[in-house]
Amino acid sequence: MTRNPSAPGSAAFLMLDPAARTLIAGDLQAVFLPGRGMLGASLRHRGAELLGRVEDLEGAIRTGTTCGIPILHPWANRLDGLRYAAAGREVELDAASPLLHFDRNGLPSHGVSWTDLAWEVNEACPDTLTARLDWRRDDLLAIFPFPHRLELTATIRPASLTIATTLIADGGSRVPMSFGFHPYFRLPGLPRAEWRLAMPAMRHLVLDGRNIPTGQEESFAVLDAPLGAREFDDGFIMLAGQPSFALAGGGRRVTVEFLEGYPCAQVYAPRSKDFIAFEPMTAPTNALVTGHGLRLTEPGGTFQATFRINVDAQ
């Protein structure tokens, strides 16, 4: 493994996670924390940080707050209660479990906290990192009783970072797929209102007051406009096979491409915060409860989902 001791914050990352790995290619540099949920803790372009909510990683680790590029597993976003049924199993979550986090409405959100998942590094090179997570601990199976393995590969190139996740159903049972990622982005040196946002045509999921899909959908037209005072906390169903979302301004354009396995997305941009999240999801919010859009990996099978972050100078 090659580390870059001169990279900004390298010593601080190693203090947070001795397994921290830095990937570098051209103008891009990324840092991942395998011992802390395989968190994408930094993505710098020409030295400027492009990820949001990473100013206090120590605090985020302490509280379990999402930041940077976290994987959300075994479900992305929220469930509408403590019970779900999937792949022939009925599950009742323990509200007192220290592994679970709850949103402001008391709903279990973002699966098991990324801070509680330690990944094992399989391969580490200057431009590639592969790690695995075995889902076999009793406390994890109490939340999601489907033994499996996840393998995540991050590959950096001079103008892109690709994250490929493979789910391997090696535990003798079917495994529901409802994981996702929550990458936060920002454009340094430019006010939020001046960020230019590009989003594709999609189906917009109508949500109730708890941000749970109602089952209704409506059309969402192509958007290409300044972010301005807009805010989002919205779920979508993709129409194109490889949709992309973009944020541009201040001499940069950041594009998130859903390459495979992600038919859904959440876009999150609170009006009072200087970040926006384009969240690739393998299933809609609450799919473990409703079954809507929920896919299963058969015993012995594999499933791969991949997204790519492109960074271009303008």
Q: Could you report the per-residue pLDDT of 223-270, keeping only the tens digit for each?
A: 999 999 999 999 999 998 899 999 999 999 999 999 999 999 999 999
Distance, in Å, from the CA atom of 124 to the CA atom of 206, rounded to the nearest integer, reads 42
Which tokens sit at 178? 């409802």
When pLDDT is cut at 50, 70 and 90, the band that residue 9 belongs to is low
Write the pLDDT tens digit of every residue in 47-99. 999 999 999 999 999 999 999 999 999 999 999 999 999 999 999 999 999 99
| C-alpha–C-alpha distance, residues 202 and 215, integer Å | 15
Contacts of 131 (CB under 8 A, 6+ apart): 32, 34, 38, 119, 120, 121, 122, 151, 152
DSSP per position, 261-294:
S--EEEEEE-TTSS-EEEEEESS-TTHHHH-TT-
| 11: confidence class by pLDDT, cuts 50, 70, 90 | confident
The answer to whether 220 touches 238, Cβ cutoff 8 Å, is no
* pLDDT (mean) for 150-160: 98
| pLDDT of the residue at 261 | 98
Average confidence (pLDDT) over 99-107: 95
Per DSSP, the residues of 201-221 read -EEEEEE-TTS-EEEEEEEE-
Task: Tell me the pLDDT of the chain averaged across its residues.
Answer: 95
Domains and CATH numbers, the chain: 10-313 (2.70.98.10)
Q: Which of 11, 10, 8, 44 is nearest to 29 (CA)?
A: 44
- Per DSSP, the chain holds a count of helices (H) and strands (E) of 4, 27
Q: What percent of the chain has pLDDT over 70?
A: 97
Is residue 2 predicted with pLDDT exceeding 70? no
Q: pTM of the prediction? A: 0.95
